[in-house]
């Protein structure tokens, strides 16, 4: 049987003999003409321009390894650690990198190798699974080179393109091809489908995911994402305008969960499109500082604002407790204001406040050691509970006889092992009509229960 393992033959040319020094004078020296090499093509210049901002992403993830892939398989042989590798592009000098989500999915720790060979770590900032895009931030104290950004709006079938990536682990591999087609929809599975992709003949292989597709000017026009298995020279990239729109949207959503500026903005995905204020909330700090719809944002902190991605990344750097220094342009004049954003409560804070408002309790999760001790004494196997530290006077909890020091185990048939569990219960549609919900708690090694109406009906604890 012949082996199917490819054999790589590397030819080494050895030059033997005596090296001499030539006394000949070049033609350029005698004629004075300047020689311009035709080897430095537009492709060479494009790769040279973009390469410093292309990075290698790698890390370890855990995957199932059961032979049949059966759900529920157990034992030490069911999972294994594998090394994943992909590519990313630096889009902001502070170290923000765009890549595919599947490159960093479930990676325990993200390592990044820069173009100059240095290795640093990064953390996931935001991701959108259905679009297969993610934003990570490199831990760096110095400004990093960013990818020149083009547009995917005016692409032409047949124009030359270049892909850069870590193909099969060979870092900074460059390949060239053309745009074969535009607006391709590529189904992946029942849950995911790529839409409006660029099809290219440039060589894209495993490891290229998340890397740039460049035009001949060295500007990024897409993020390489997929190849057609079993085919040659059929590969796909997400158009850069779509990428920037998606990444901007997911960062904006993250910002809204931590900052309340009262300002709504608009702007295009391309550099130079700018950012314009389209709405200012009447009760917001921004309104009080004189910002108006139509103002063009030109700077946030020390960051110049050229497009919406610049704007949302600048807000990402703002501490919720700090004032937001913003400079705007209006009628040709610039002025600067300091806006103090309203602090947005975290998810945990929101749940805690809801528990206090609706039930009338303040809680904290019972630690694992304490839960084990409680189970040992009571000969039970409760998975967890919420220790009640305070009960509001006149609340439904007080009327049911709940006391500080009790451990809440469950409500309405659902366990309350954490604040997340409690949030799910309070937000469940079955609870919206205010049913009489049976609850369980532990007090001095005794399990008690009662029926509590979250609309504040009376009830009693029973043993």
DSSP 407-452: EEEEETTEE-SSHHHHHHHHHSGGGTT--EEEEEEEETTEEEEEEE
For domain 40-64+81-257, give its CATH number from 2.40.10.120, 3.90.600.10, 2.60.40.420, 3.30.930.10.
2.40.10.120
Nearest to 242 by CA among 184, 286, 298: 184
C-alpha span between 249 and 313 (Å, rounded): 11
Chain CA centroid to CA 100, Å: 9
C-alpha span between 321 and 299 (Å, rounded): 19
Nearest to 209 by CA among 183, 251, 238, 241: 238
What is the per-residue pLDDT for 173? Answer: 95
* Alpha carbons within 13 A on the beta-carbon side of 348: 4
The CA–CA distances, whole Å, from 287 to 281, 333, 337, 339, 340 equal: 7, 19, 11, 9, 11
Spelled out in words, what is the top-level CATH class assigned to the domain 347-453?
mainly beta
C-alpha span between 43 and 175 (Å, rounded): 10
Q: Is 209 a catalytic residue?
A: yes
CB 212 within 8 A of CB 164: yes
What is the per-residue pLDDT for 274? Answer: 87
Question: If DSSP codes are grouped into helix, strand and coil, which group holds residue 137?
Answer: strand
Q: Quote the crossing angle between the two packed helices 240-256 and 308-316, to the nearest 10°.
A: 30
Element (H, E) at 375: helix 368-378
Kindly report the number of other CB atoms within 10 A of residue 192's CB atom.
Answer: 13
Element (H, E) at 86: strand 79-92
Enumerate long-range contacts of 350-354, CB under 8 Å, 24 or more apart: 350/423, 351/419, 351/420, 351/422, 351/423, 351/426, 352/419, 354/423, 354/426
Catalytic residue among 53, 58, 92, 132: 132
Judge residue 274's burial from the number of C-beta atoms within 10 Å of its C-beta, 0-12 exposed, 13-18 middle, 19 or more buried: buried
Q: Give the residue range(s) of CATH 2.40.10.120 domains in the chain.
A: 40-64+81-257
Spelled out in words, what is the top-level CATH class assigned to the domain 258-341?
mainly beta
CB 60 within 8 A of CB 85: no
C-alpha span between 373 and 113 (Å, rounded): 47
Beta strands 110-113 and 436-443, pairing class: unpaired
| Regions of the chain where pLDDT drops below 70 | 1-34, 61-82, 190-191, 230, 343-347, 376, 379-380, 429-435, 453-463
Lookup result for tokens 């110049």: 304
Lookup result for tokens 């607006």: 183
Q: Is 412 a catalytic residue?
A: no
pLDDT digits (tens, 9 = 90+) for 50-101: 999 999 999 876 554 444 433 344 444 444 555 778 999 999 999 999 999 9
Catalytic residue among 92, 102, 310, 421: 102
Q: Give the residue range(s) of CATH 2.30.42.10 domains in the chain.
A: 258-341, 347-453
Chain CA centroid to CA 214, Å: 23
Catalytic residue among 180, 209, 284, 418: 209
Q: Is 185 a catalytic residue?
A: no
């Amino acid at each position: 049987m012949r082996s199917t393992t490819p054999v790589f033959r590397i030819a080494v040319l050895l030059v033997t003999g005596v090296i001499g020094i030539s006394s000949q004078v070049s033609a350029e020296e005698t004629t004075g003409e300047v020689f311009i090499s035709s080897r430095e093509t537009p492709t060479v210049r494009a790769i040279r321009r973009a390469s410093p901002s292309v990075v290698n992403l790698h890390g370890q993830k855990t995957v199932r390894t059961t032979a049949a892939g059966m759900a529920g398989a157990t034992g030490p042989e069911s999972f294994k650690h594998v090394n994943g590798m992909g590519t990313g592009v630096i889009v902001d000098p502070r170290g923000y990198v765009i890549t595919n989500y599947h490159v960093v999915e479930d990676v325990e720790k993200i390592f990044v190798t820069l173009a100059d060979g240095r290795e640093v770590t990064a953390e996931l900032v935001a991701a959108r699974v259905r679009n297969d895009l993610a934003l990570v931030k490199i831990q760096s104290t110095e400004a990093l080179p960013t990818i020149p950004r083009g547009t995917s709006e005016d692409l032409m079938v047949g124009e030359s393109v270049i892909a850069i990536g870590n193909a099969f682990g060979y870092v900074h591999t460059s390949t060239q091809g053309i745009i074969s087609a535009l607006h391709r929809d590529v189904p992946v599975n029942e849950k995911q489908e790529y839409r409006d992709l660029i099809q290219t003949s440039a060589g894209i292989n495993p490891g290229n995911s998340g890397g740039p597709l460049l035009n001949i000017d060295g500007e990024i026009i897409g993020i390489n994402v997929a190849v057609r298995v079993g085919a040659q020279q059929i590969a796909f990239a997400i158009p850069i305008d779509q990428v920037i729109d998606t990444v901007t949207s997911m960062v904006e959503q993250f910002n809204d969960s931590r900052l309340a500026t009262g300002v709504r903005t608009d702007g295009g995905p391309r550099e130079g499109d700018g950012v314009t204020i389209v709405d200012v909330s009447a009760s917001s700090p921004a309104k009080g500082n004189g910002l108006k719809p139509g103002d063009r944002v030109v700077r946030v902190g020390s960051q110049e604002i050229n497009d919406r991605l610049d704007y949302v990344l600048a807000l990402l750097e703002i501490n919720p407790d700090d004032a937001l220094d913003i400079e705007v342009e209006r009628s040709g004049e610039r002025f600067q204001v300091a806006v103090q954003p309203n602090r947005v409560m975290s998810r945990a804070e929101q749940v805690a406040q809801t528990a206090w408002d609706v039930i009338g309790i303040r809680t904290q999760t019972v630690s694992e050691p304490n839960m084990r001790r409680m189970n040992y004494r009571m000969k039970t196997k409760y998975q967890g509970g919420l220790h009640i530290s305070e009960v509001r006077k006149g609340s439904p909890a007080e009327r049911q006889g709940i006391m500080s020091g009790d451990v809440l185990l469950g409500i309405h048939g659902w366990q309350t092992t954490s604040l997340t569990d409690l949030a799910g219960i309070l937000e469940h549609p079955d609870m919206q009509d205010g049913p009489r919900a049976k609850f369980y708690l532990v007090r001095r090694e005794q399990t008690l229960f009662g029926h509590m109406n979250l609309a504040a009906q009376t009830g009693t604890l029973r043993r």
